């Protein structure tokens, strides 16, 4: 108990005159550990740099070495070419003058079978030239026959169109033959021309043969539109500029009359177009 009382308190050295032991500096152990760690780090870095330099040098030496067939060929086999008779001559010195022959194949290559082609049709044989030129047909015209008077046809006589019996004379047959062309006023309808180039037109509602004067009235008077009625193969012709009026024969004279719903009118206004009589 006397020793504890005689020892001054360490937390108040100025009161008792006591001072701590300063022979040993504080933190000396930590400094030693830090120095040892730094020295080990420097040593490890130097070792790593040395090892990396050595590996880089070895890779450069390997890349400089020539590669032989033994390093790439399977099984470690090395193939050597058979030396030629003139070993001192350089290989390939005479390639410019003597080309190397092409090696023959071990088996012949089968060529594909050609695709069968259709035979071209043979040109038709030229018919022998006739000794005499054939005579062309006299006409490709038409004739117009009455339905209720089947032995009578349209015929131009004295400028008028009548329904006549046609004899065997060439003039009568020519007068009863016409050309059917596209309508002068309406191409979907008909116009009729004679052998001498005149047109059939209505004048004062009577059908006549007249020369074309180029007027609009003439084109309309010479245009007729076909209308098919009940009887098979027959037709009637309606005027373009007078709708409702049809060509019919009365007393064997061709006229343009208004429509009548009667058996007589149907019979007189029905006609058949046949081949030309000439």
Mean pLDDT by 10 residues, the chain (278 residues): 52 56 61 83 84 70 50 44 47 46 46 54 48 44 94 95 92 94 96 96 96 96 88 86 96 96 93 90
Task: Note whether 168 and 278 are within 8 A (CB).
Answer: no
- Does residue 220 contact residue 117 with C-beta atoms inside 8 Å? no
pLDDT at 205 (0 to 100): 96
pLDDT for 202 equals 97
CA neighbours closer than 13 Å in the CB half-sphere of residue 160: 12
Would you state the pLDDT for residue 104? 46
pTM of the model: 0.50
Which ranges of 65-112 would DSSP assign to H, the alpha helix? 69-72
Return the structure tokens found at 150.
């089947």
Kind of pairing between the strands at 179-182 and 190-193: antiparallel
Instruction: List 236's β-bridge partners, or say none.
Output: 227
Residue with tokens 């007189």: 268
Contact 193, 178 (CB under 8 A): yes
Report in angstroms the alpha-carbon separations of 87 from 78, 84, 98, 170, 205: 20, 6, 18, 113, 123
Write the CB contacts of 204 (distance below 8 Å, at least 6 apart in sequence): none
Alpha-carbon gap, residue 37 to 156, rounded angstroms: 142
- The pLDDT score that the predictor gives to residue 79 is 45
3-class SS of residue 117: coil
Other residues' Cβ atoms within 10 Å of the Cβ of residue 67? 9
pLDDT at residue 217, rounded to an integer: 97
Helix and strand numbers (H, E) in the chain are: 7, 12
pLDDT at 60: 60
pLDDT at 174: 94
Element (H, E) at 36: helix 28-64
Token pair recorded at residue 77: 């086999």
């Amino acid at each position: 108990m006397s020793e504890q009382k005689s020892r001054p308190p360490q937390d108040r050295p100025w009161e008792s005159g006591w001072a701590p032991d300063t022979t040993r500096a504080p933190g000396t152990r930590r400094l030693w550990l830090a120095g040892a760690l730094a020295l080990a780090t420097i040593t490890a870095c130097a070792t790593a740099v040395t090892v990396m330099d050595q590996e880089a040098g070895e890779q450069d030496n390997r890349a400089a070495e020539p590669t032989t067939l033994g390093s790439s060929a399977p099984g470690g086999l090395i193939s050597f070419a058979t030396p030629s008779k003139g070993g001192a001559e350089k290989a390939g010195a005479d390639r410019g003058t003597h080309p190397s022959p092409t090696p023959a194949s071990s088996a012949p290559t089968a060529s594909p079978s050609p695709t069968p082609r259709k035979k071209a049709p043979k040109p038709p044989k030229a018919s022998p030239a006739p000794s005499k030129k054939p005579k062309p047909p006299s006409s490709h015209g038409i004739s117009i026959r009455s339905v209720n008077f089947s032995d009578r046809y349209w015929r131009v006589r004295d400028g008028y169109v009548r329904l006549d019996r046609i004899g065997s004379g060439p003039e009568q047959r020519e007068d009863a033959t016409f050309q059917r062309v596209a309508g002068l006023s309406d191409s979907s309808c008909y116009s009729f021309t004679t052998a001498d180039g005149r047109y059939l037109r209505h004048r004062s509602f009577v059908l006549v043969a007249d020369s074309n004067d180029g007027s609009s009235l003439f084109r309309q008077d010479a245009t007729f539109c076909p209308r098919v009625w009940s009887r098979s193969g027959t037709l009637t012709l309606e005027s373009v500029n007078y709708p409702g009026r049809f060509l019919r024969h009365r007393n064997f004279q061709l006229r343009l009359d208004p429509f009548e719903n009667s058996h007589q009118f149907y019979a007189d206004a029905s006609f058949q177009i046949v081949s030309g009589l000439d």
